[in-house]
Chain A
C-alpha cells in the first residue's frame, strides 16, 4: 500500500511523517528531477506494511516550482511509481481555508483521502473553532483531529487506515465544466481520466509534467485542440481557485466559528525586536557568534576523539597485519580516508542542531526577511545568509544547509559560491604562511599586521563569494520565477523529534553519499603519493637501505627518506611537471606537490610541506616554518618564501577549490558533476589570476 502525505508548508506534515516512520525513513531521489523525497515505512495491523511518502509542501495542485511539480506528477500521473493508493491530507486548522484549497483539488482527483486536522489548539488560541463532525459532513470525507507533535497522532492515523476510514467523494467539489465550457468538448477522446477534473489535468498538465500516457504526436494534437478552443491556462486556474474558495467559505460558515480576539500576538511583539533595523541584525550576529563558538568548541573534542581512535586503530592494524602493500593501502588509504569522512560528523551534527532549531522556531523566516534586500542584489536570497556564514566553519555542512532556499536558481548560486568563504581548513595554511612572511608589527599601537592580513583574507572570501554570485546571475538563467511570497509562521517551540531526525538524516546523507566519493579520492591520492615509476622508487630504497628496512631506528634519515619517496612518487612527478605553469605565481615544484596533495583537504598542505622538508615531527609547525624560511631560491639567491610568494600562496588557497569533500557534497546536493566541475574551474581560474597578479606586482 502506498500512502502520500499532502499539505501546505508548515502544516505539520513532516512532523507527522516523523511520528509515523521514526528512524525507518530515507531520502529518496526522484528520477529525472533532483528533488529529495522523504520515504518511509510503517507497519499496519492486519494490513502489512505501508510505504509512506512525504510530498513537498504546496498550496495548490498547480506547481510554481520544481519541488512542487513533483506533487502534481505523483498525484496526477497514475503510472508514477509513487502514485498513492491513499492520500493523508494534513490541514492546518489555524488556516483551514487555505489548507482546504489543496485538499479539495486532491478530492476532485478521485483519490481515497482522509483529512487530518492539525494544530487545532493553536487555532483555538486565535479564536477559531472548527467542528470536525460538521466539516466531515460538509466535505463528505473522514476528518480526524490530530496533534502531529504528540506520539498518539501516529496511532490515530494508523487506526484510521486499518479500519478503512478513508473516503472518496461521489460528487465533485466544484462543477469544473462551467469554467471555459468550450474547452471540454475539444479534449480528444483518447485522453482518459477518472473524471472530468482528472481528464483536464491529463490534457493540460504537460505544463507541469510530461504525460507518459500520450505520445508526443498525440500530445501536440491535444495542445492544438485546447488552443483552438481558446483554453487559457492561467485564467482557468485562477477561476478554479476563486470558485473553490467560494465553496470553502460556505463550508466554513457552517463548520467553524470565529470569536473576535484581537489582542496583539506574542509573535508580533517578538518581531518588533528581531526584525528591527538595528536590533534585528545585532541579534542575528550574536546568534551566529554563539553558533560558531559552539560548533568550534563542541566539535573539537569529538573530532579529536575520532582522529585519535583512528590513529589507535591504524596502529593496531599495522602491528598485527603483515607489513606490505595491502596493510599500507588499508592504513594509509582506506582508514585515513574513512577518518577524513567521519571527522566531519560533529560539525555537521552541531550545525544542523542549530539550523533545525532556528528553522523550527520560525526564526529562519525572519532572517531571510531582514537579509533579502541586500542579498537579492547579488542574485541570492535572504536565506543564503545561513550557508554563507556557515561556510566560515566548513563548506560541507554549509552546502547542505542551502536546502532551505526554495528557489532553485538562488539555491544553486548559493551553493556555487559558498566554498569561497574562508573555511576552518584554510586557517592552518594561513597561519603558517602569515607567521612566515608577514612581520608581527603593530600599526597605530593596537592593530597587529598579521591579524589584519588574516581578517583581510576572510573579507576577500566573503566579497569573492557575493561578487561571483553577481557574475553568475548574468549567466545562469532560470525558467522558474523568483518569488518571495512566503508564510511568516508564528514563533513556536521546536519539535525535538524533528530536530533529532534532521541531524540523523544530514549525517547519514553525508556519510553514505559523499563519503563514498571522498574515500575513493583519498585512496587514489594515497596511491599517487606513495607509488612512482619502479626504477625511481627502487633507487630511493637503495640509497637508504637501512631506513627502508627499519624506519623507526633512524628517525632523522627516515624523514629524508620519506621526502625522497614523495619527490619520486607520481604526485611528486606531477608536482614537478606543473612547475612551468605555476612558476609565474612564484611557486616551485615543492609547492606544486603540496597543491596536488591538498586537494584531499586544504590543511594537508602543512603535512605535505613537513614531509617535503624532511621534518621529523610533522605536528610541530615551528620547525616546518624554520625549514621553509631557510629555503633559498636558486634563481635569486634570496629566501624562497618572501612576501610576494607568501601572499600569492595565500590568495591561491583563498580561492582555489581544493576540497574533495565539498565537491562530493555539491555533486550530491545538485545531482550532477557539472556544478562541482564548474566550481573547480572558476575558483581555480580566480586563484591562478589573483596569485599571478599578486606575485608579479609584489616581486
Chain B
C-alpha cells in the first residue's frame, strides 16, 4: 500500500482508504471513492500542489492532503 502523495506522475493506482477522517468526506464528495482509479497527472512547479485524475475530473490537491490517501498500485 502506498500513499498517493508519494506516487510518481503517471503511475496508476486504486484508492484503498483514507487516514484523515475529516478530509476523507471531502475526497469522497469530489469523486475520490475507495475503489476508484486515481493517477497523479502533473505536479505544480516545486512539486506541490498536485493535479490528480479521478474518473470524470481533474482535481488539484496539496501534497500533504494527497499523503492521507492510501492507494493500491499492484494488481
Q: Which residues of B37-71 are within 8 A (CB) of A?
A: 41-42, 44-49, 51, 55-62, 65
Give Cα A484 to B23, complex, Å. Answer: 11
Instruction: Give Cα A97 to B36, complex, Å.
Output: 12
Whether the pair B42, A245 counts as a contact (CB closer than 8 A) is no
- Any chain B CB within 8 A of the CB of A472? no
Query: Does B29 lie within 8 Å of A271, measured CB to CB?
Result: no
Do A483 and B28 touch (CB < 8 A)? no
Residues of A contacting B28 with CB < 8 Å? 238, 241-242, 245
CB-CB nearest in chain B for A368: B60
Any A CB within 8 A of the CB of B11: no
B21 cross-chain contacts in A, Cβ below 8 A? 234-235, 238
CA distance A673 to B31 in the complex (A): 40
> Are the C-beta atoms of A485 and B33 separated by less than 8 Å?
no
Docked complex Cα distance between A627 and B57 (Å) = 66
Contact bitstring A56-95, B, C-beta under 8 A = 1, else 0: 0001101010000000000000000000000000000011
B49 surroundings in chain A (CB, below 8 A): 369, 372-373, 382, 484
Contact residues of A between 234 and 252, Cβ < 8 Å to B = 234-235, 237-238, 241-242, 245
* Interface contact A245-B33, CB-CB below 8 Å: yes
Question: Within residues 266 to 318 of chain A, which ones have a CB less than 8 A from any CB in chain B?
Answer: 268, 271-272, 275-277, 280-281
- Closest chain A CB from B36 CB (angstroms): 9
* A237 B65 Cβ-Cβ under 8 A: no
Residues of B within 8 A of A154 (CB): none
Which of A370, A373, A483 is within 8 Å of B26, CB to CB?
A: A483
Please count how many residues in chain B sit with their CB below 8 Å of the partner chain's CB atoms. Answer: 31
- Taking a contact as CB atoms under 8 Å apart, the answer to whether B65 and A485 are in contact is yes
A98 touches B57 (CB 8 A): yes
CA distance A374 to B47 in the complex (A): 11
Does A481 belong to the interface (CB within 8 Å)?
yes
Given A238-B25, A241-B25, A245-B28, check contact A488 B33 (CB 8 Å).
no
Cβ-defined contact, B29 with A488, below 8 A = no
Q: Which of B29, B59, B61, B65 contacts A60 (CB 8 A)?
A: B29
Q: Report whether B31 and A488 are in contact in the complex, using a CB–CB cutoff of 8 Å.
A: no
Q: Are A488 and B44 in contact (CB under 8 A)?
A: no
Instruction: Tell me if A275 and B44 are in contact (CB < 8 A).
Output: yes
Q: Is A226 an interface residue (CB 8 A)?
A: no
Q: How far is the CB of A24 from chain B (nearest CB, A)?
A: 33
- Bound together, the chains give a CA A281 to CA B27 distance in angstroms of 29
Chain B residues whose CB sits within 8 angstroms of the CB of A369 once the complex forms: 44, 49, 51, 60
Q: Is A101 interfacial (CB 8 A cutoff)?
A: yes
**Cα distance, A684 to B64, chains bound together (Å):** 37
Q: Are B29 and A372 in contact (CB under 8 A)?
A: no
The listed residue with most B CB atoms (<10 A of its CB), out of A235, A272, A365, A483, is A483
Contact with B along A361-397 (1 / 0, CB 8 A): 0000100111011101000001000000000000000
A268 touches B41 (CB 8 A): yes
Chain B residues whose CB sits within 8 angstroms of the CB of A235 once the complex forms: 21
B30 within 8 Å of A (CB atoms): yes
> A98's contact among B30, B41, B45, B65, by CB below 8 Å, is which?
B30
Is A487 on the interface with B (CB-CB < 8 A)?
Answer: yes
Q: Whole-angstrom distance between the alpha carbons of A236 and B59 in the complex?
A: 25
Closest chain-A Cβ to B40's Cβ sits at a distance in Å of 12
Cβ–Cβ < 8 Å partners of B44 in chain A: 275, 369-370, 372-373
Complex contacts, A553 vs chain B, CB 8 Å: none
Scoring B33, B34, B56 by chain A CB atoms within 10 A of each residue's CB, the highest score goes to B56
Q: Give Cα distance in the complex from A277 to B42, angstroms.
A: 12
Say yes or no: is A1 at the interface (Cβ < 8 Å to chain B): no
Closest residue of chain B to A276 (Cβ to Cβ) is: B45
Residues of B that sit less than 8 Å from A by CB: 21-31, 33-34, 41-42, 44-49, 51, 55-62, 65
7 additional contacts (CB under 8 A) given A95-B31, A241-B29:
A98-B31, A98-B56, A238-B24, A241-B25, A241-B28, A487-B57, A487-B58
Sampled A-B contacts (7; CB under 8 Å): A59-B30, A94-B56, A98-B30, A234-B22, A369-B44, A483-B23, A487-B59
Interface set of A (CB-CB < 8 Å, partner B): 59-60, 62, 64, 94-95, 97-98, 101, 234-235, 237-238, 241-242, 245, 268, 271-272, 275-277, 280-281, 365, 368-370, 372-374, 376, 382, 481, 483-488
Which 6 residue pairs across A and B have the least CB separation, nearest first?
A: A277-B45, A59-B29, A488-B58, A484-B62, A60-B29, A95-B56
